Amino acid sequence: MGRRTHEQIRKIILKRLQKGQSTINEISQSTGLTWRTVQNHLIYLIGTGKVEPVFISKYVKIYKLKGGECE
């Protein structure tokens, strides 16, 4: 199996967030993506306004879809 494109990875993350708020770890475990990959793509998705953090502490960050959108 070939590598996934950035677009494919972001769609996987957005689809997971359609199910509800999640931490990076929860997204990683349910999608099979690495923690670092999820973190990097969430940074991009926050920058594009598709995802927003709901809760941030020293040890936990919870994310959700902004406005309930998914492409």
Q: Would you state the structure tokens that stand for residue 36, as one six-digit string?
A: 């670092």
Looking at the predicted structure, is the pLDDT value of residue 69 above 90? Answer: no
Query: Could you report the per-residue pLDDT of 23-38, keeping only the tens digit for each?
Result: 999 999 999 999 999 9
Cβ-Cβ contacts under 8 Å for 33 (sequence gap 6 or more): 9, 12, 13, 27
Predicted pLDDT at 57: 96
Query: Could you report the per-residue pLDDT of 39-67, keeping only the tens digit for each?
Result: 999 999 999 999 999 999 999 999 999 98
63/22 Cα distance (integer angstroms)? 5
Predicted pLDDT at 71: 45
Cβ-Cβ contacts under 8 Å for 32 (sequence gap 6 or more): none
Q: What is the mean pLDDT of the segment spanning 17-21?
A: 97
CATH topology for 6-65?
A: Arc Repressor Mutant, subunit A (1.10.10)
Residue 59: CA atoms inside 13 Å, Cβ hemisphere, count?
Answer: 0
